[in-house]
Every structure is written in C-alpha cells, then in structure tokens.
Structure 1
Amino acid sequence: MLHYYTLFKEAIPAETTIHMYLVNDGSKSGIRQEDIHLLSEKITGFTYIDSPVNQGKGGALRDAVRQTTGKWVIYTDADYPYIMANAVQMFHLLSTDAADVVVGVRDEQYYDQLPLGRKIFSLSLKVMNYLFFPQLKVKDTQSGLKGFNQKGKEVFLKTRIPAFLFDMEFLVLASKRSDIRIQWIYVQAREGIVFSTMRAKTILTELANFASILFSGDR
C-alpha cells in the first residue's frame, strides 16, 4: 500500500493533499499493528477504520466514504491491481471537472488474467446489464477502480448492497441522474497481480443482489 501510495503521490501535482483511508472489514487474522503504525507514520493523512464485523465490500467502502472530507474520492482494492497510470488519469478527469463520476472499464488483457469462473461471471453480468439496464452509461460495472466528486459521493452513499454489486447499484443510481456526468477509462492489470477465484455461494448472493437492484424503485 505504501509503495503504490508513493507512486500515486509522485505522479500528481505536488500541492495536492492526499488522505488515505484503509478499512479492515472484520478480519481477525493477518492484521499487524506494526504495519498500521508504519502506514500512520509514513502517510501524513491516514485513517484506519477497523470494522468489528464483516459487512462486505460495499459496506466497508461506505464507512470510509462517509468520513472523507476532500473534493474527490478514488477507491480501489488494497493490493491495487491496476497500472498507476489508470489512477492518475482518473484523478486528472476529476480535478479538471471533466466528470462527476469516473469508472474504470476492464480491457481484454484484464479479462484474460481472471480465473475462469470470475471471468464468466463478469462477462455474464455485462451482458445482463445490456439486457436489463439499457440506461446504464457504463455496462462494465465491476472494476475496482472508481472515482467521484461531491455530487457522485452523494449518490454513492445512497447505495445499500453490502457485497460486490454495490458498484453496479451506484452506477444505476448515477445513470438515473441527468445532472451526473459519467466518464470511463480503460484499466489494465499491473504486472504480477494474482486474482482470487469467486465461490459459487458468492455468485448466488450477487445474482440475488442483481434482482434486488432490478426491482427496486428510485431512491
């Protein structure tokens, strides 16, 4: 985390103030206080959010986004699976007021590196978005790199899905707003990243979440 934070900081204007939020979503293992102390020591603006229970990725991110005070928010995974140029491009679009929401869209190279089950689920979801959500301005909703300004933050905090499809819920809500400008960028997987597999139970849960988004009313 410290490595990729440093690369990002060096790639954007020096006068930009960065605050990093790290959420532990209920994990009881693999968390060392000396690591948290190191991040606190090396990163001027750092907040560690230690959730006592596992909420799912959507719940964990909402906890962090609620606490943000900056003009723009960019969220991603702790292992940062993308090339740094993607985050820098996203920052540039937000900081120049070119968009309210910026979405990372995965290219073919990215899909080729996914485990088969995860690849099938991601591509199937994309097809389902075309069929059931024609109003969606971006059909690839599940990349783990997204950014937004304060208008986008307001919409993001209206999401309710606890697990992975909170991304899709966010973009469905944003696409319904005529005043929200959505742009997308291609994202590429960085060298050396290893993607986890997706369990059958997770896929079934997300299909149920898809149905809940499909049949929910405007919020």
Structure 2
Amino acid sequence: MAPIDLNLVHPIYNPHPGWAEELVHYYTLFKEAIPAETIVHMFVVNDGSKTGIRSEDIDLLKTSVSGFTYIDSPVNQGKGGALRDAVRLTTGKYVIYTDADYPYLIENAVEMYRLLSVNAADVVVGVRDEHYYDQLPLGRKIFSLSLKVMNYLFFPQLKVKDTQSGLKGFNQKGKEVFLKTRIPAFLFDMEFLVLASRRTDIRIQWIYVKAREGIVFSTMRAQTILTELANFASILFSGNR
C-alpha cells in the first residue's frame, strides 16, 4: 500500500513562550499514534503576530519536524484567513487543522485521521461534549451555546450543529469547499460546514472531542461577538457558492 500524505495546519497569533516546544511535543505524540508509513507535513501560519515568535522557535520546528513549512503573514487577518493561506499550499491527500497548543486530546486527532484514511468521510468535524463548555470563560460559553441554538433554528440542513470546535479534517473534496469560505475570523468554521452541507456529494462525519488537561481558553470581547453576529447574518443570507 502506498504511503498516505497528511498535512497538519496550525495557525498562531501572539503565542505564549514555549509554544514551539509544546507543538513539537504534541506533534510527536500524534506521529507515534498513527501508522508509521504516513507521511506528515506540518504547516505553521503566523497570523500577523506582534510578539511571541522568535527565529529560534522556527529553527526548532525546522529541525524537529521532518516536513515543515512556515508561512509568515505580516497582517493579522483572522484565523480563517490565515488558515486559508496555509490550506492553499497543502499538497497532501488529507488536511487536519487545529491550534498549535493542541487543545484537544491527541486521541481525537488520531480518530479524525483514521476516518479520513479509510475514506469514511470527506469532512470530519470535532464536536465538543457537554463537559467542554464548563471549561470556557462565561462570555465565550454563552456565545458558543447560543450559536448552537441559532444553528438549529436557522440552519436545519447543517449536519453538525456544533460548528466551532478547533479540530477539523478533510480530503481534497473538503479542501475545495474550505477554500470557498470568506469570513476572516471566528465563524469561518460555521461557514465551511454550511457550504459543505449544501453539497450532496460531500460526506460529513463527526467525532466527540474533549479538551486536554491544563488548556486555558481565551475570552471573547464584546466587539468580537458583535462582529461574529454580523458574520452569522452574512452566512444566513448568502446563496450557494
């Protein structure tokens, strides 16, 4: 059997000290848990960070990861925009993206890869269990739960109503859909799944994901919430693309 090419994509923005060492650690755990013949190439995309990224960090990744590409975006465009920049450059059969601090259990990413590798789906989505929300700051928890309710009300065709987990994977058909997204920040995930759900030829599967021990989630500013509500409306009233 020919080896399978997998691309891992990690966006970063003003990361905390030690982020590169953490990324190498979790990447190594992931590599050890998947078939040895899998060819893995990592993409790290810097979304216009002002602090936190040193040349030593990039050098560490280059020497520790056998296949590595660093994309340095000078402007902060939002996570969605940064991910699209990286995904356009991927050449692997499968793509999985998640934050560089691997906020979910390694087993979740491994299961996502397994489903893709056996051709069980074109898009695999991480769905957060009820315990996940207990770990979120209050404002972010309210927004996330409210968004799920809004998805049930306004997007009944969505095959997965929890659209915002930061762990998703897809094959080349899914990549084509992902690159049609336009929203720069938080709701690009939702836009992706809305577009995928409109396609009858796209098979979507989901897995439960759990936050790893010790992860700290950021808060959401009021302005961010208002911006994303406007993005929600733009998705609601958009047509097929």
TM over 0.5: yes
Does 2:33 align with 1:11?
A: yes
Match of 2:102 in 1: 80
Of the candidates 103, 118, 125, which is equivalent to residue 103 of structure 1? 125
Match of 1:170 in 2: 192
Deviations 1:7-50 (A, max 9, x none): 00000000000000001100121111001001001101101110
2:202 & 2:211 partners in 1: Cα distance?
Answer: 28
Provide structure 2 residue ranges, at least 5 long, that are not aligned to the other structure. Answer: 1-22
Of the candidates 169, 173, 182, which is equivalent to residue 147 of structure 1? 169
Q: Root-mean-square deviation (CA), in Å?
A: 0.5
2:53 & 2:60 partners in 1: Cα distance?
Answer: 12
Does 2:58 align with 1:50?
A: no
Deviations 1:143-194 (A, max 9, x none): 0000000000000000000001000000000000000000000000000001
SS in 1 for 2:212: coil
SS in 1 for 2:39: coil
TM-score (norm 2): 0.90
Match of 1:183 in 2: 205
Q: CA deviation at 1:109?
A: 1.3
1:122 & 1:172 partners in 2: Cα distance?
Answer: 17
Q: CA deviation at 1:101?
A: 0.2
Of the candidates 167, 180, 194, which is equivalent to residue 158 of structure 1? 180
Aligned pairs, how many? Answer: 219
1:51 & 1:28 partners in 2: Cα distance?
Answer: 11
2:119 & 2:100 partners in 1: Cα distance?
Answer: 26
Q: CA deviation at 1:217?
A: 1.1
Runs of 4+ that moved beyond 3 A: none
Match of 1:71 in 2: 93
TM-score (norm 1): 0.99
SS in 2 for 1:143: coil
Identity of aligned residues (%): 86
2:53 & 2:212 partners in 1: Cα distance?
Answer: 24
Does 2:141 align with 1:119?
A: yes
Q: What one-letter code is carried by the residue in structure 2 that aligns with 1:63? A: D
Q: What one-letter code is carried by the residue in structure 1 that aligns with 2:69? A: T
1:137 & 1:200 partners in 2: Cα distance?
Answer: 29
Does 2:54 align with 1:32?
A: yes
